[in-house]
Amino acid sequence: MNRFALLVFSVAALAVATGCQKDETTSRDADLAGVNVAVGEKGGSFSKLFVLNEGNFQKNNSTLDFLRFSDGNYVSDAFGSMNPAVVQGLGDTGNDLALNDGKLWLVMNGSGYVHVLDAKDETLVASVAVPDPRFIAFDSGHAYVSSYAGAIYGGDEKKGKVFRIDLKTYKIDGEIEVGCQPEGVAVAGGVLYVANSGGYNYVHENTVSVIDLGTFKVMGNMEVASNLHYMVTDSKGRIWVSSYGESSWSQDDAGNWVQSMSEPMGLYMATYLSIPKTVQAVKDVHVSCMVMAGQYIYAIGNAAEMTGGYDNTLYKVSLTDSSVTATSLSKTDAAKVGNPYGICVNIESGDIYIADADYTGPGKVWCFTKDLKKKWVAVAGMLPAHMVIY
């Protein structure tokens, strides 16, 4: 039971392990055992699929898993295994995961940290304290993190912020006020776009804040739709942003909660730098989670949510002509996905990874072919939500 002695010993052991490193081509996390879920899986030029489990609210059980393509093993809590001496591990409520220049960035909403990991072996490079962080985006020199900045539900109406982190020093070197409760952020053409939700306000926000990254000043705000959420930008500098929708809720006689929409929910495409500015709704796309991969945006949402029903649907939105292909999961192998909470696509093989969050226990990560034929499924951590392929 003498854990103090163990601690000293373990730190020493770790140091030894670091010292006698294997050759450079073998990642140090290669020794981590996992559960073999995908025999014969090939990731093409990719080596790992990273999965960030959000964890339960204030339970400090957010974890980082990965699937290793070389042997098809799914490794749980890789961060904890590779960084055992980091007090309280990753922390609470991982809200975003991004890959930039060989580094993995984890946005921990509950803990108020942005962790920077070496993507090769999940070792911790830096932890940057950012209050209430939500989502992250990058340009060549900086990371930009949206933040609720101390707002609370039921409290004063309070503007959010974007914090700027220097990629060399991992220190905050700027902050700027945006709309209330900012969510998704994306960079295109020297401009940062911020999706404002205003989720704590009586009347939600409906704008995207536009920030010139040269001067780090707000250039303007563009009205898009109410209660904005996820955001990506494409190579043409267009903004694709999803909305939680604007609705009121009531219960029908059977007790089902039914939404009455005053504004449509879904996906919007907007341009700000063009003349004139444009905003365009992408019709009938319900977004619970979305990702941009190649020339498409992939999203999953419940097509029947207005009536209180369940019809989880995969939407494939073409960036070229905005056309939408909708496939109901119920007619495919993905019918078993209970609660799609995150999506990722392998652009080489077209494989689709879906994070499936269970509400009482650990979630799952599913892999399907582009035709939604099941390839494998793995047991993840609590509320798997965010994935990147490396």
Partner 1 sequence: MFPSFLAAFLLFIQAPECHPEHSEGSDTLKAAMVSSISGSIIVPQRITSGELKSASSLSEAVRRFAGVQLRDYGGVGGLKTVNVRSLGSEHTGVFIDGIQVDNAQNMQVDLGRFSLFGLNSVSLFSGQKVAPLQSAKEYSSASSLYLESADPVFKDGKRDNFFLRATGGSFKTVSPSAVWEHLLRGGSKLRLSAEALSSDGRYRFHVKDFRQYPDGTVAGYDTTMIRSNSDITSSRVEAMLFSPASGVASWNIHAYFYGSGRGLPGPVYKKAGEYPLSEDRQTDRDAFLQGKYYRDLGDVWSVAGRAKFSFSHLEYTDFPENLPRSLSGPSTPLRGRPARYNYRNHSAYLSATAMARIGGSLKVNLAQDCQYDYLDSDLRAFAYPGRFSSWSCASVIFGKDSFEASASALYLGVRDSFISGNDRSSAFRSAFMPSLVFRWKPAERFTLNGFAKRSFRMPTFNDLYYTTVGTKTLDPEDAIQLDLGAVWSLWSEPSNHLTLKVETYWNQLKNKIIAVPTSNQFRWSMYNLGRVEVLGADLTAEYSKKSGTVELGLIGRYTFQRSRDKSDKEALTWNGQIPYIPLHSGSVNLFGEHGGWRLDLTAFMTGERFTTSANLPAYRLSPWTTLDAALSKNLSIARNDLTLKLCLNNLLNEQYEIVDNYPMPGFNFMLGMEYFF
Q: CB 159 → partner 1: shortest distance, Å? A: 9
Contact call for residue 249 and partner 1 (CB under 8 A): yes
Q: What residues from 157 to 196 belong to the interface with partner 1 (CB under 8 A)? A: 158, 172, 175
Residue of 97, 108, 143, 232 interacting with partner 1 (CB under 8 A): 108
State which of residues 80, 121, 333, 375 lies at the interface with partner 1 (CB under 8 A): 80
- The reply to whether 31 sits near partner 1 by the rule CB under 8 A is yes
Least Å distance between CB 249 and partner 1? 6
Contact status: 288 vs partner 1 (CB under 8 A): yes
Contacting partner 1 (CB under 8 A), which of 27, 29, 41, 61? 61
Binding residue for partner 1, selected from 20, 39, 85, 275, defined by CB under 8 A: 85
Task: Choose which of 50, 105, 244, 298 interacts with partner 1 (CB under 8 A).
Answer: 244
The answer to whether 138 contacts partner 1 (rule: CB under 8 A) is no
Residue 21 binds to partner 1 (criterion: CB under 8 A): no
* Least Cβ distance, residue 277 to partner 1 (angstroms): 28
> Smallest distance from the beta carbon of 6 to partner 1, in angstroms?
6
Q: How far is the CB of 71 from partner 1 (least distance, A)?
A: 15
Long-range contacts of 197-201 (CB under 8 A, 24+ apart): 197/227, 197/228, 197/229, 197/244, 198/227, 199/227, 199/244, 200/148, 200/151, 200/152, 200/153, 200/154, 200/155, 200/157, 200/158, 201/157
Nearest distance from residue 295's CB to partner 1, in Å?
Answer: 27
Q: How far is the CB of 87 from partner 1 (least distance, A)?
A: 5
Q: How far is the CB of 350 from partner 1 (least distance, A)?
A: 25
Residues 207-236 within binding reach of partner 1 (CB under 8 A): none
Q: Residues binding partner 1: what is the number (CB under 8 A)?
A: 82
Side chain identity at 263, as an amino acid letter? Answer: E
State yes or no: residue 7 binds partner 1 (CB under 8 A): yes
Nearer to partner 1, 308 or 350 (CB): 308
One-letter-per-residue 3-state SS of the chain: CCHHHHHHHHHHHHHHHHHCCCCCCCCHHHHCCCEECCCCCCCCCCCEEEEEECCCCCCCCCEEEEEECCCCEEECCHHHHHCCCCCCCCCCCEEEEEEECCEEEEEECCCCEEEEEECCCCCEEEEEECCCEEEEEECCCEEEEEECCCCCCCCCCCEEEEEEEECCCCCEEEEEEEEECEEEEEEECCEEEEEECCCCCCCCCCEEEEEECCCCEEEEEEECCCCEEEEEECCCCCEEEEECCEEEEEECCCCCEEEEEEECCEEEEEECCCCCCEEEEECCCCCCEEEEECCEEEEEEECCHHHCCCCEEEEEEECCCCCEEEEEHHHCHHHHCCCEEEEEECCCCCCEEEEECCCCCCCEEEEECCCCCEEEEEECCCCEEEEEEC
Tell me which of 121, 124, 131, 139 binds partner 1, using CB under 8 A.
131
Question: Between 251 and 270, how does the x/- string for binding to partner 1 read (CB under 8 A)?
Answer: x--xxxx-x-----------
Residues 299 to 358 in contact with partner 1, rule: CB under 8 A: 302, 304-305, 307-310, 339-341, 357-358
- Cis peptide preceding 276, ω within 30 of 0: yes
Tell which one of 39, 87, 217, 331 touches partner 1 (CB under 8 A).
87
* 118 part of the interface to partner 1, by CB under 8 A: no
149 contributes a contact to partner 1 by CB under 8 A: yes
Shortest distance, CB of residue 46 to partner 1, whole angstroms? 26
Should residue 36 be labelled a site residue for partner 1 when binding is judged by CB under 8 A? no
